[in-house]
A and B are shown apart, each in its own frame.
Chain A
């Protein structure tokens, strides 16, 4: 069973440094929720506050409606998977998994059979008597998950547990984690700086920067409708054009930049005369021979063509020496532009969004 985690106006100060700044978000029961942000954005501090290793300077954390203030990490219904896993090297695998049961006074026979059951769940049957040092990285990962599941947590907290794995294994474990989460229906709170991981696994993602929540939403929301410039540039690539809003009509804005005036969607709190930036994703741009009357258009010169297999990245330069990047899918009959070619960088207004930079941090 799972429970929701309610983080209400939580602030954490370390001396003069505000690590977490008035974060307010509720993780729903049974949800796979990710905190995404660069290192030092406060996401790990949030995790440590939920698990009980640190108490917030202000605000409250409730798990299943119960205020967690003053409740130690050993008494909270959470289980944490550490970045380095923190398996106990002096115990065999099954004792690692059964540790939570051991400290709860479960008799040995029952512990052993529960550990074996969990090993089957994480696809490691027969590993019970192995030493942790005999396991590979991916296997250790599964042991850590089994150890956390053994205490039947209401909330599972994961601190970048995949970061030490190589790419292939990491992608495989993403699927595994998601499957285990569905099977057990435990609330998962996942911490990562890897946007791909967060988007691929999560029901919802919270993007953080400088201790503040920048946006909370589904992966599609985050990617397609970023709330501000930080979210847009942290999640995915962009072509960015600074400028000023010169007019609004029918929900669309006119935006004047050094490269010309474009039509684009205004983002949150972007009004007339706002100084902001226009963001357009590389995959939403078409490189065409002529300007398109229905699209925004910039004449550009092709600088470089990088073939990456499934996609091709074309780097271009405009008359003002600004550089852009365009992503083309490697379809049948693809005609690749060549360096030096003069083309038009065309993008539709509804795929371009005008955003402010991140909300300014309030410092202590």
Chain B
């Protein structure tokens, strides 16, 4: 604070502080507080607002726990997000290892740029691109000369989410693997370990915090994604965010919608916490 004042003077410091405070208060905290209040009050006809029925209640949250279909959608969302996370890890780990330990640093930065190029295109366009590729009359079928319905079940959603979020896996895993002393890999090999054993016993344990960070990010982003499930859906691929969207925009019930949004957040955080405990990763390690 003192250093800020010394460097920028009173006027600029106040301006910085006010901007940061505005961002936090008006754009993050306030909307969330409003959502919490919404979620704790019942959805009523306008005439009853402020009346005796307008009380604080957990009823909106209870709605979720008594509707089996919503629980099922939530569980499927978690399951498919886990599959997406696993696929991202399986695809990203070799790439990250290759960039961190096999090729030279300049080559790795070139590869990074190439990996970042798709990020220049908006998520919307990328999801559409996959729709064009995977559609019944789409590019893939045309190329292969077959008629396969690719967009059934959660296929499209999985492909789209993996494609959209894989970089969030590559970067932390790359970071973690890169910090491993290459001599450790060679020492393991020299002592007779196969490549697979070297990864299992040396590289992966070292990279575990990075892997965990990547998994948490991909999982949370996938479970919270709305765009990809909307664009690459099939008749039976329901995503929990779509349920929330329906409460908000189809039922016009912002109260239950808010409750569902917080439930998604809380349950996903709980699931992630459970997984971190199970795999023995401490939160403090992930920051490294």
Chain A contact residues, CB within 8 Å of chain B: 51-53, 72-75, 78-80, 82-84, 86-88, 90, 99-100, 102-104, 147-148, 150-151
Contacts and interface: CB of A to CB of B under 8 A. Distances in A.
Contact of A86 (B181, B197, B205): B181
A74 B193 contact: yes
Nearest to A76: B190
B183 A90 contact: no
A80 B206 CA distance: 21
B38 to A, nearest CB: 47
Contacts of B183: 82-84, 86
B11 interface: no
Contact of A103 (B181, B186, B197, B205): B197
Nearest to A78: B190
B194 to A, nearest CB: 6
Given A99-B201, A103-B197, A88 B190 contact: no
A147 B191 contact: yes
Contacts of A102: 201
Chain B interface extent, by class:
10 to 19
B186 A99 contact: no
Interface residue SS majority, chain B = helix
B202 A73 contact: no
A72 B189 contact: yes
Nearest to A83: B183
Contacts of A52: 190
B189 A99 contact: no
Given A88-B202, A90-B205, A151 B191 contact: yes
B252 interface: no
Contacts of A79: 190-191
Interface in B172-195: 181, 183-184, 186-194
Contacts of B184: 86, 88
Given A84-B181, A86-B181, A90-B206, A103 B187 contact: no
Nearest to A150: B191
Given A74-B193, A88-B202, A99 B181 contact: no
A121 B31 CA distance: 68
